[in-house]
């Protein structure tokens, strides 16, 4: 085990995938830049050349279509969208083509593409550069959506995405890139569709996605000082969702707070709550199910307003305490 940052673990995963398999390629904006995608692609172009590390023009729709075509031709492309906001331009090749191919051809053809989208929140970037739109892709049949939160999981999940055989939207957050954790040097996989308990507790369950897992863990520490024992659950995969893991935890604690980096209405938090409400495995709930997500308004461009817009540990502590009381 070594201590690596999230960005370093992701870079190592890319190197190992390209080294081991000639069908793996990486394509997208800024992949030859040492900094454009947060140093996650450092050294790739030098070792694997521009035939497998392809820096593209800014044309999200065309580049995504090309990557889907490469996947149909036998490659396993990792397609980079350095701003998740602008993946909207590529909805036709993602939602109409890649997502439906396996179904339309009766399982005889598939699109083994990993669509890597990066959330860029904060930093006074404003509404068009601060959007976490993962719930949109989870709504589309035929697409899996993964959201790793640790260096260990990002390395293992990326490998699982590449070899899944069908389209996977792989979402990370720039706020994760400096977080450190233990990472094996060897190649390994983390199973898609399995969540993890990051901290055990008995008074309430906090389900958090992506970067907010770390804010939830900080909140759990503060709640412990108030005599509240919070269990923190990281789904890792939004679709397919590990519903059994969540049901088991909430069945124990009797309370649920879902924390998500997307907007409140019709988002990932709402889906998780709906799954719990419909599940017959939970016989007793001690408090109403609660979600904590972004307000239904565009992100502000003011640093002062951003502090109130994006959710942090103190917001989680406040809502969790209300549930327990």
Q: Are strands 144-146 and 237-239 parallel, antiparallel or unpaired?
A: antiparallel
- Relative orientation angle of helices 268-278 and 243-253, to the nearest 10 degrees: 70
Cis upstream peptide for 194 (omega within 30°): no
Is residue 129 part of the annotated active site? The answer reads yes
SS3 17: helix
Whole-angstrom Cα Rg for the chain: 19
Name the percent of the chain in helix, strand, coil, to the closest 5: 40, 20, 40
Task: Indicate which residue of 12, 60, 271, 306 is catalytic.
Answer: 60
Q: Give the span between the Cα atoms of 178 and 150, in whole angstroms.
A: 10
b/e code 152-174 from CB counts within 10 Å (16+ = b): bbbbbbbbbbbebebbbbbbbbb
Residues 6+ away with beta carbon under 8 Å from 88: 133
The Cα–Cα gap between 150 and 210 comes to 8
H/E element holding 88? none
Catalytic entry in 8, 12, 81, 129: 129
Structure tokens at 66: 């090309």
Q: Catalytic positions, please?
A: 60, 129
């Amino acid at each position: 085990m070594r201590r690596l940052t999230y960005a370093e673990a992701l870079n190592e995963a890319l190197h190992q995938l390209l080294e081991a398999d000639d069908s793996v390629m990486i394509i997208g904006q800024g992949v030859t830049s040492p900094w454009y995608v947060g140093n996650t692609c450092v050294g790739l172009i030098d070792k694997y050349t521009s035939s497998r590390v392809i820096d593209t023009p800014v044309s999200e729709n065309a580049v995504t279509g090309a990557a889907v075509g490469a996947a149909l031709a036998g490659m396993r492309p990792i397609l980079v969208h350095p701003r998740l906001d602008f993946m909207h331009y590529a909805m036709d090749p993602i939602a109409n083509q890649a997502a439906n191919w396996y179904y339309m051809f009766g399982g005889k053809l598939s699109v083994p593409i990993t669509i890597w989208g990066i959330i860029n929140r904060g930093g006074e970037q404003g509404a068009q550069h601060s959007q976490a739109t993962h719930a949109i892709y989870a709504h589309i049949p035929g697409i899996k959506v993964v959201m790793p939160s640790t260096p260990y999981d990002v390395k293992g999940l990326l490998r699982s995405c590449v070899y899944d055989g069908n389209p996977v939207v792989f979402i990370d957050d720039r706020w994760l890139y400096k977080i450190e954790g233990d990472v094996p040097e060897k190649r390994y996989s983390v199973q898609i569709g399995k969540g993890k308990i990051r901290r055990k507790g008995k008074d309430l369950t906090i389900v958090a996605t992506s970067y907010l897992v770390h804010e939830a863990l900080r909140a759990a520490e503060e709640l412990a000082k108030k005599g509240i024992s919070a269990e923190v659950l990281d789904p890792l995969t939004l679709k397919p969702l590990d519903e059994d893991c969540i049901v088991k935890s909430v069945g124990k604690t009797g309370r649920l707070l879902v924390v998500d980096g997307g907007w409140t209405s019709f988002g990932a938090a709402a889906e998780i709550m709906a799954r719990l409400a419909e599940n017959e495995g939970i016989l007793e709930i001690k408090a109403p199910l609660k979600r904590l997500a972004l307000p239904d308004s565009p992100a502000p461009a003011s640093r002062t307003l951003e502090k109130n817009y994006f959710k942090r540990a103190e917001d989680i502590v406040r809502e969790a305490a209300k549930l327990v009381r």
